[in-house]
Structures are given as C-alpha cells and as structure tokens.
Amino acid sequence: MIKALVLYHSQEFGNTGKMAEAVAEGLRSAGCDVTLFNTNNGRFDASTFPQYACVAFGSPDYYSYVAGGLKTFMDDHYILHTRKGVEGMKGKPYSLFYSHGGGGRVREVMINLFKYIGTLVGVPLGCPGAPSKDILSKCRDLGRELAKKSTTQ
C-alpha cells in the first residue's frame, strides 16, 4: 500500500484541518495509507519522511507566509535529507493547499518553498475562510490526483 502524508497546520478555526481531512479522504479512496499530522500539535519528526511515497502540505496564510511548523519541517528536511543526499528524496510527488482570510499571498511562498520536495502535482488549492462543499470536493480530487501520480511513477 502506498504511504501518503498530509502535513498541515491548523489552529484558529480548523479551516485548514477540514481541507486536510478531505485531501486525506481522496488519497484513501485511491488506496493510500494516510498519516495526517497537524504541526499545531508538535514538531513533525522529519526523519520519518523518506517512508512516504507522496505528501500534501497545507497551511493557513500567516502574514502572507506559511505557518511556522511547516517552515520548521522544511528546515529539518533540508538538514536531515537534502544536504546529506539521502536517496529517494528527489522527485517526490507533492500537492499544496492553503486557507486564508481574503489575502492568500501565501500561495507564492508555498510554491517557492516546497519546490525542494520534488514534483508538484495539481494546482495549489486555496480557500478563503471556512471551506465550502465545493472546495472540500476539490480537496478530495486533489488527493486522488496525488495518489494517482504516486502509483504511476
């Protein structure tokens, strides 16, 4: 079974968390074994990252930037894997989603930051405020698209 990670931060209203759950549903419906981790609950252990075949990152827009927990993950990831040239760390399929209060400039930041992970799958999915049924459906679609890309690699 393909192991997938949904790594996100959600704190204020649970908006990003609802999107993360829907992305996870899409991944599961396509046959993935999904780990969901909210960096608001602690620091993600980046040493476990190589075991995942694909990853979806979700962040609220915080001052037009990603939440600190996700930035910390990227710092840990670079120190543990990228700099040491760990095998299998290049070309990992990943997708992006974000929640915002009407600005949403975090989108560009996410595109620039997470490019070090591998290959972007799908279009980064943004949502102002609480996610609607339509947005949650698009999140599930994104999860399925990511799973499909990961199994056909």
Ligand X SMILES: Cc1cc2nc3c(=O)[nH]c(=O)nc-3n(C[C@H](O)[C@H](O)[C@H](O)COP(=O)(O)O)c2cc1C
Site for ligand X in 84-123 (CB under 6 A): 99-104
Nearest distance in Å: CB 144, ligand X: 22
Distance of alpha carbon 80 from alpha carbon 90, whole angstroms: 13
Comparing CB distances to ligand X, the nearer of 29 and 64 is 64
Site for ligand X in 64-83 (CB under 6 A): 64
Q: Which residues lie below 8 Å from residue 14, measured CB to CB, with a gap of 6+?
A: none
Binding window for ligand X (CB under 6 A); candidates: 28-36, 49-57, 62-70, 111-119:
62-70
Contact 95, 57 (CB under 8 A): yes
Binding window for ligand X (CB under 6 A); candidates: 46-54, 58-66, 86-94, 141-149:
58-66
Nearest distance in Å: CB 7, ligand X: 13
Nearest residue to ligand X by CB is 103
Contact 140, 22 (CB under 8 A): yes
Nearest distance in Å: CB 48, ligand X: 23
With CA atoms as reference, report the closest residue to 44 among 72, 22, 63: 72
Comparing CB distances to ligand X, the nearer of 59 and 150 is 59
Nearest distance in Å: CB 101, ligand X: 3
Site for ligand X in 10-39 (CB under 6 A): 10-17
The angle formed by the CA atoms of residues 9, 149 and 151, to the nearest 5 degrees, is: 105
What is the per-residue burial (b if ≥16 Cβ within 10 Å, else e) of 76-85?
A: bbeebbeeee
Number of other residues whose CB lies within 10 A of the CB of residue 73: 23
Q: Which residues bind ligand X (CB under 6 A)?
A: 10-17, 60-64, 99-104
